Amino acid sequence: MGYRGKLEERERARALRAQSWTLQAIADELAVSKSSVSTWVRDVDFVPSPRNRGRPAGPKHPMRIKKEAEIEQCRVEAAEWGRSLTERDLEMFVLGLYAGEVSKTDGELAMANTNPAYLHLFLKWLRSRFEIDERRLRAILYLHEGLDIDSAERFWSRVLDIPRSQFTKPYRAVADSSIRSRKHVNGCATARYASTLLHRRVMAMIHAISCQLADPG
């Protein structure tokens, strides 16, 4: 972009901040990082306005238009590519998730996530790949204080297709504003299936994939 482009963005950011735009709104508008905006406008007086939604009338910045066009193009390309995915692709995807995101404790298969699609796919694969006893499935929720446990359990019970009678006592996270402000309304769910043999089979599959891909020969 060059120095001139950055200078123009900086001046635009300062002008928007003076109009009570939030840091995130400015970053989105200019298609730059929030940290850059924070540096550019740190000496600009800012008066929060509940009536100002951070998007006054006017044309979008060219960089924002370019960013949105690129995101849409990526979405279209990915959707077309995704139509050819196979059951084998699903298996590799789930094993990759399991290798990177979950506990490797011997004795059970367990995956935790706030994304319902990931947990749904994990259990879809588990049920289709192995003969499991549905009665041995368990789920537990990690939920911030103030959020509705009953509603969250109903949501995850539908997503996971696990009866609420097989949910264990949820864990309530104590609010701490110094850590994070965003809260997932349905919390983080963990799906568990107790089986030492299945756990060892899955870990062996992950190991076999790793060895095969890492082998230069």
Lowest mean pLDDT among 8-12, 72-76, 107-111, 165-169: 8-12
Q: Which residue has the tokens 């996971």?
A: 160
For residue 185, the 8-state DSSP code is T
Tokens of 9: 């963005």
Q: What's residue 50's pLDDT?
A: 57
Contact 167, 138 (CB under 8 A): yes
pLDDT, tens only, 54-85: 555 456 777 778 888 888 899 889 989 988 98
For residues 13 and 36, give the distance between their C-alpha atoms in angstroms, rounded to a whole number.
10
Contact 202, 193 (CB under 8 A): no
Reported confidence tier of residue 51, pLDDT bands at 50, 70, 90? low
pLDDT, tens only, 25-49: 888 888 888 888 888 988 887 776 6
Answer whether residue 206 shows pLDDT above 80: yes
Q: Could you tell me the pTM of the whole model?
A: 0.67
For residues 212 and 210, give the distance between their C-alpha atoms in angstroms, rounded to a whole number.
5
Contact 136, 194 (CB under 8 A): yes
pLDDT, tens only, 86-132: 999 999 999 999 998 766 778 899 999 999 999 999 999 999 999 99
Q: What's residue 3's pLDDT?
A: 40
The mean pLDDT of 161-184, rounded to a whole number, is 79
